[in-house]
A and B are shown apart, each in its own frame.
Chain A
Amino acid sequence: MTKVFSRPEALNDVELHYCPGCTHGIIHRLVAEVLDELGIVGETVGVASVGCSVFSYNYFGCDMQQAAHGRAPAVATGIKRALPNRVVFTYQGDGDLAAIGTAETVHAASRGENITVIFVNNGVYGMTGGQMAPTTLEGQVTQTSPYGRDVKTQGYPLRVCELLSQTSGAAFLQRTAVDNVKHIRETKAAIKKAFQYQLEGKGFSLVEVLSACPTYWALPPAEALKRLGSEVIDYYPLGVYKDKGAETDEK
């Protein structure tokens, strides 16, 4: 029999701890497929962050370093400066990257640090039990916005790609989603491009992947994907926010 589908080599054969319907699994797979296709697993060091994806150091088949909450871009900077010929990526959620790690994110981008950031935005703190994130949408109910996020007291959801597009050091910024096959394919292409830019020494690359959290959105998985494809994408438009390789393509 011909094998038509298998686990990417860069993804370890272990049980993932994610909730049913969580889209982290899809994104892990896409990153692993890209590492395989570029043939760089042995040259790569990944940085896991704090949040639902904290155990990603067990899942990716490359060397990994686990970072404190929000500090992954700084840790990746240290690794990349020590090993300039290695491929270095971080895998971070929105609480990690857009709240506690905002400074590290902005400055890694601003320095044009030649690393790749996989930014998984599901609009909620998952690991600690579904609290409001900086990316939580207006009106969204979470454990710490039990009456819905009130922008008067809790501020507005932060758009990371738009923010980072103002930094001169960012080489590639794209926002994608994993709500349907077309978007998943786009996400993979974006991740591949981000790693390619790093290999070409172009500078900081980040792919923001809009992701679903059925558990803390309190929706069945299929409904969660529908919300992702509508409400979430409406506030966070998909697209390329910076592309130093195609100057004219910038938003």
Chain B
Amino acid sequence: MAEKVLMKGNEAVAEAAIQAGCRLFFGYPITPQTEVSAYMAKRMPKIGGTFLQAESEVAAINMVYGAAGAGARVMTSSSSPGISLKQEGISYIVGSDLPCVIINIVRGGPGLGGIQPAQSDYFQAVKGGGHGDYHLIVLAPSSIQELVDMTQEAFDIADQYRMPVMIMGDGMLGQMMEPVEFGAKEGRKLPEKTWAANGTEGKRPRNIINSLYIEASDLEELVLERYERYKEVEKNEVKVEEYMVEDADYVIAAYGTIARVAKTAILALREEGIKVGLIRPITLWPFPTESFKKAAETAKGFLTVEMSMGQMVEDVRLAVDGKKPVEFFGRTGGIVPTPDEICDAIRKMKEGK
């Protein structure tokens, strides 16, 4: 058993990536995720890796694209406005079927917004963000231990499906400290990167990393192939935590940090005799639709709690499919809902208000 160390989320994510074999990191400073770069800057030169502070987020994601095309394990990290700038590059990475890991420590928006924790980039992460038909695999940890475990697994998932994986945290997860353990994990069996453009050495036909297809039928065929792969991801990779859902009359849907606040509220409500449970999507895409479908058979209603004006709530409603009411409670701009506020929202639902 590895020993536990007290670490800040942003530093833990960097160490987790290094332990997963990531030796290239391209970053750009932005609050509240800058410690990822700071940690990489300190560690990478000591282990023969590359930390490069790019001239912009745009350049950083394109460096990621280059390194991924060369077959390397590579990561970048940013926060909301910076992730907006990375969308072009993300679309190219997807369009070229390259694996990489992108950390998004979300802050309030739109515009320059704020620097406090938020979840208002759910749509951007889950519904596209860049141009074209595509999905990212989006993981939403709610503790620093989960952040570490998921970051390590993210590299394997990315390599397995040749897809970018986004880890979506929020400013709180990035900034807070918790004890974590870095255990050696059994990696997945991964295909060789025979597609990498890393020099033919005259031994194989040349490889081309590209997302341009002038013939519409070629492009359609490729996108259809990609969506077949997405079906595999939906079949194999859904992760969800169901907490006290079995006997629950009301089910809260929440992900990331706010799911922990929701658990506090659930315990308080159960003291009052109100049976409440939690469905916590751990993968935001693929979305744990089945958990909601199942809960819709027994629960009286759902409350989606987010640090936004309501984004994931749309996916919850799609999953529940009108069978039960789905209400929403959220705070935005960097405000974190309190357990009391969540309790009140549930009580109102119960009273039919």
Contacts and interface: CB of A to CB of B under 8 A. Distances in A.
Interface of A: 41-45, 47-48, 54, 57-58, 61-68, 71, 74-83, 86, 103-104, 106-107
B70 A45 contact: yes
B217 interface: no
Interface string B61-77: 01111111111101000
Contact of B208 (A57, A80, A106): A57
Contact of B66 (A48, A63, A65): A65
B18 to A, nearest CB: 16
A41 B96 CA distance: 23
Size class of the B contact interface (CB-based, 8 Å): 35 or more
23 contacts: A41-B200, A41-B202, A43-B199, A54-B212, A64-B197, A64-B210, A65-B197, A65-B208, A65-B210, A66-B212, A71-B65, A71-B89, A76-B66, A77-B63, A78-B26, A78-B67, A78-B74, A79-B197, A82-B70, A82-B72, A82-B198, A104-B62, A107-B59
Contacts of B65: 65, 67-68, 71, 75, 78
A82 B197 CA distance: 11
A65 B69 contact: yes
Contacts of B211: 66
Contact of A83 (B59, B199, B208): B199
Interface stretch (B48-56, B252-260, B279-287, B338-346): B48-56
Nearest to A12: B206
Nearest to A75: B66
B264 interface: no
B198 A68 contact: no
A82 B24 contact: yes
A43 B199 CA distance: 5
Contacts of B251: none
B164 to A, nearest CB: 14
A48 B89 CA distance: 15
B62 A42 contact: no
A74 B24 contact: no
Nearest to B214: A55
Contacts of A103: 55-56, 58-59
Nearest to A110: B55
B124 interface: no
A206 B203 CA distance: 29
B206 A61 contact: yes
Given A65-B208, A66-B209, A45 B198 contact: yes
Contact of B63 (A63, A64, A81, A83): A81
Contact of A74 (B63, B210, B212): B63
Contact of A86 (B50, B64, B199, B210): B199
A88 to B, nearest CB: 9
Nearest to B68: A78
Interface in B91-108: 92, 96
A74 B62 CA distance: 6
B327 interface: no
User: Top 6 nearest A-B pairs by Cβ distance?
Assistant: A78-B66, A78-B63, A74-B62, A75-B66, A63-B197, A78-B67
A103 B85 CA distance: 14
Nearest to A60: B206
Contacts of B58: 71, 74, 103-104
A134 B177 CA distance: 49
B201 interface: yes
A76 to B, nearest CB: 6
A137 B313 CA distance: 55
Contacts of B72: 82-83
A82 B67 contact: yes
B199 A74 contact: no
A56 to B, nearest CB: 11
A62 B210 contact: no
Interface in B132-163: none
Q: Which of B58, B68, B202, B207 has the most CB of A within 10 A?
A: B58
B178 interface: no
B246 interface: no
